[in-house]
Structures are given as C-alpha cells and as structure tokens.
Amino acid sequence: MNNLEKIKTDFIGLNTTYATVNNKEIRRVYLDSTASTLMMKAAYKAMESFYDHYANTHSLLYFSAKISTREYHWAHDRVLSFLKADPNDYTCFFTGSGTTAGINRLAR
C-alpha cells in the first residue's frame, strides 16, 4: 500500500453506513471538507495524548499552558518541515475553522 492509499484509509468515519428510508444501508460520502474535514486517526491519536494538558497557549503561568504552547509551536514547525519551507522565509498560521476563517484572517 502506497502512502496515498494509507492516507485515504486513515480518515475516521469514512466507513460509516446509514439506513435510508427504505432500509437500504449506504456508505457515507463526505463532501464538506472545506468547512470541516474528517479527522485522521493519526491526528486523533496525537490529540488524545495531549487532552490531559489542554490549556491556553502563550501563557507561561502554569505547566499545562507551557505544554500547550510548546505543542502549538511544534505543530507549526511540523507543517513547515513537511512543506520543506525554510522558517526564515516562511511562516505558518492556523486559521481556525474553515476556509472562511482563513480568508478573513488574511484580509485583516
């Protein structure tokens, strides 16, 4: 299995089925990734180990905030590394929820 095939099978909920009004089972077809992308199992596992420390970032007053800030910067660094983008030339920022939030942030 190549990497693209592995990625395709890593999304949570793709194999979910629903019963139609005539009791036929149909597999989920998800076409709304612009608004809310399905979570990947790898991301879920990473977040699951983090939830005990979840806190506001950029506060250094308590341990969980320090951990959150460290992980926040780690995530940005990982994105830049994945894209082979030199952090001296490029920046990474997370927009929040959906494409609209990203466009609004850039506009401001």
Neighbouring-strand partners of residue 19: 25
pLDDT score for 27:
93
Q: What is the pLDDT of residues 6-38, one digit of tens each?
A: 888 899 998 899 999 999 999 998 888 777 788
- What share of the chain in percent tops pLDDT 90? 45
Structure tokens at 4: 């693209």
In 3-state terms, what secondary structure has residue 10?
coil
Q: Spell out a b/e string for 61-83, using b for 16 or more CB atoms within 10 Å of the CB, else e.
A: eeeebebbbebeeeeeeeebeee
Averaged pLDDT of the chain? 87
Q: Where are the domains of the chain?
A: 1-38, 54-108
Q: What is the mean pLDDT of residues 81-97?
A: 88
- CA–CA separation, 52 vs 25, rounded Å? 38
The length of the chain is 108
Q: What is the mean pLDDT of residues 77-83?
A: 94
Query: With 80 as the cut, is the pLDDT of residue 64 above it?
Result: yes
Out of 11-20, 45-54, 76-85, 95-104, least confident range: 95-104
Give this prediction's pTM. 0.63
